[in-house]
Chains A and B, each alone.
Chain A
């Protein structure tokens, strides 16, 4: 290549050396002396090269490459080492507390007897419900935004507005959603408030109120009443009454100061005629109320607000990754927009959607802040029984225990963290499995 080729198919800009070809030097080509033939980059002597195409010095380039690689390794190592350090300290502290008691018992004043059962079941309830609520809404929203893009100007503006909102909502701190949940779900903006009766739900289904008396035999006697605000029932012989298991019983009434019956069976349900009751309620598994109050449903709805933007965005990305040629193919066969979505876009996007949804769920499991605002109760000895039941969740329980001064509670909190981490890891494992098993090439 040292010899220029006069007949080479050079573009006119890169003229050969004038001295060899004998052309007059053109004024607008001051570098033409150094342009050697058609591959100036491969020219040998640095002196002959034009400044613009001079080869970079090899050493510095390679050194920069090595330095960048080292930087990448170092940053990766820092994050991994931090994780290992945290995990090992939690394992060291928590493993001794990983006992059957931990899994089966509720919060107790003594660390050795305390457990996570109510928190664990609360977490399962809230997150399952949250997933059931979030998935349909999130996927439907993503389908609307991706597959049914409006084509007129106002529609496009509205679409853009919603899109912008969702993107921004994904970055809102979760505690803000807690406040929103408190207003929208716990109190429902005061829409269903009964005037006067503070805290009483305006609408209830699946609940029965009882007046609870304590008999002289020290057993509870339950007398059903019509509703929460019914007048106190009067004690009389032969009234309808139940024991704690709601088995019908016969009540024996004696006058104040009268003699106790001899028979212990009769004594068990003996009341003085001036006995005073407390009003209690028994809620069925289908108990429902408006407003929702601080129950499981509220927790699920609030967590739904937290993860809905994430689910929508990840579902949108999964749908966007489906090649439009597939949609065109279905459309060209005469598929309606819905048939395109249902038969082509959604099946192709479902692995991506599921992966995103599961990762969002694992975020919901770890959230403490919104639950802290809407529920705020930790001392619950049993798991939720119905949608409106009080509940607590694992992060709340952990948060509470770590705040205690006793060493034992820190250990038990570490043990709870281990359980929580295991749940999260298994969730992520499912996400990876789905990605690997279901994801297939689309074109």
Chain B
């Protein structure tokens, strides 16, 4: 499945950087390099401090899970990475978050380009009220000029990548809102990866889905981590345990503990973490 599409990709997107294929970037080499380095990040909504001096490294091409009870700031942190908080009145932050050499939080950063490099999938599937094809083609159309056939190849590539191609290939021009919740969410993932991001942010991507769809999306996340750095916010601790490599536990706006998932779930260093992952609160 990958071979033909990779060649398509190479010819397709000249103006913008492309989703890299596994062949191009061997996984072992940069396995533990940090994709996003967060240091001393504090954030406020008006007078309310939502995050207290968070420092954290998000490893490249790994799944990092943010867990914690509601209101602990994990979504806030996630939404600073691609500046979705910019639209919220009164939201501000201090500290730095670096993607390579790019300061994600700087005022001068080109937010539009940043969001192309760091894609986001939301809690509730939010396909546009357009056809399935148009949904996936939406992102590429924003950023690059490509011919109709190139666009078709790109859409197919993204839909295959998001493991939803087989279900929608016969009705690409049917309304996306006619899909089931799980299919819609995978369509949203396809839409996000169609612009060739390096990082995928997922804000509780499965909380609005049924168990079967959840499983499909989790499998997909597992699959995608070969190429993308993934950060997933979740309430579901089994989910974090199942599909993440690194887990960060947040509580009341503070980063309590971060480490390899197995360690956080089996031998947590902090009492709070242990109480949370064993279900004593939260």
Contacts and interface: CB of A to CB of B under 8 A. Distances in A.
A441 B177 CA distance: 8
Interface string A318-362: 000001011011111111100100011001100000000000000
Given A333-B142, A344-B128, 9 more contacts: A326-B126, A329-B127, A331-B84, A331-B115, A332-B119, A334-B116, A334-B142, A334-B143, A347-B129
Report which residue of A323, A325, A331, A336 has the largest number of chain B beta carbons within 10 angstroms of its beta carbon: A331
B128 A441 contact: no
Contacts of B87: 331
Instruction: Place the interface of chain B in its size category.
Output: 20 to 34
A443 interface: yes
Interface stretch (B33-41, B187-195, B249-257): B187-195
Interface in A385-443: 440-443
A240 B78 CA distance: 83
A151 interface: yes
A335 B175 CA distance: 21
B175 A333 contact: no
Contacts of A156: 89
Contact of A441 (B90, B114, B126, B129): B129
Contacts of A329: 122, 126-128, 188, 191
A442 B122 CA distance: 16
Interface in B135-190: 138-139, 142-143, 175, 177, 188
A333 B124 CA distance: 16
B223 interface: no
Contact of A440 (B122, B124, B129): B129
Contacts of B138: 330, 333, 343
Contacts of A442: 129
Interface of B: 82, 84, 87, 89-90, 112-116, 119-120, 122, 124, 126-129, 138-139, 142-143, 175, 177, 188, 191-192, 195
A323 B175 contact: no
18 contacts: A151-B90, A326-B126, A326-B129, A329-B122, A329-B191, A331-B87, A332-B84, A332-B120, A333-B142, A333-B195, A334-B139, A339-B142, A343-B142, A347-B129, A440-B177, A441-B129, A443-B126, A443-B177
B116 A323 contact: no
A251 B120 CA distance: 84
A332 B115 contact: yes
A333 B113 CA distance: 9
A325 B115 contact: no
Given A344-B128, A441-B177, A333 B84 contact: no
Contacts of B126: 323, 325-326, 328-329, 443
Nearest to B175: A440
A332 B127 CA distance: 12
A440 B126 CA distance: 15
Given A151-B89, A326-B126, A441-B129, A332 B82 contact: yes
